[in-house]
Chain A
């Protein structure tokens, strides 16, 4: 029973398209995150939601929009995809004082 699941695992799309990545956690955690991992493995936070409320919004292009319909779900929508958006996107969740539990990632390739 997967704790943090994200779909799809792989996404290949053309420049200019709009795409969404979905994330669900069944751990009962209050906080969820989106991280971007570049080709050098560096993990950079993009957004964080606590109980459906946006609490971290890093400097990312407006083309990226998170949506949290409830505390178990955090989706990421990306408009007008660019080549530089190619990366692995990780969803994660946490309770306040502990570390994160990560999903297995969505490998996005923009061609």
Chain B
């Protein structure tokens, strides 16, 4: 079983839709949770970063962490065609710097 599970999609939504992306994990030592966005033929770029449980909002993006359920989410409001990319969740323990990634979800926002 993988440490981090993420539905690879693909996910296709119309412009303006609310998008929900999710990951589950099995390692209870994970404390730092991240979402990366990767455009085609580019490197992943850090989108959201949260520590432990709770919500974090940045513009149209909201990251949620529920450590009791070992479940994290990324919500995108008013989705735009420019949001079309692969979204990867990533997490790490308190000690060390190793990031463990999910498989990535491919998102297409149709105009």
Contacts and interface: CB of A to CB of B under 8 A. Distances in A.
A77 B49 CA distance: 32
A41 B106 contact: yes
Contact of B97 (A40, A96, A105): A96
Given A41-B104, A43-B88, A96-B97, A102 B49 contact: no
Given A99-B49, A105-B43, A40 B98 contact: no
A42 B49 contact: no
Contacts of B101: 42-44
B60 interface: no
B43 A99 contact: no
A40 B103 contact: yes
B86 A45 contact: no
Q: Tell me if B's interface is mostly helix, strand, loop or mixed.
A: strand
Contacts of B86: 41
A27 interface: no
Contact of B98 (A48, A90, A99, A105): A48
B103 to A, nearest CB: 5
Closest 10 pairs between A and B when the two form their complex, measured CB to CB: A102-B43, A41-B104, A99-B46, A43-B101, A104-B43, A99-B34, A102-B44, A42-B103, A31-B97, A105-B43
16 contacts: A4-B43, A40-B103, A41-B8, A41-B38, A41-B88, A44-B101, A45-B99, A90-B43, A99-B34, A99-B90, A99-B99, A100-B44, A101-B46, A102-B36, A103-B43, A107-B41
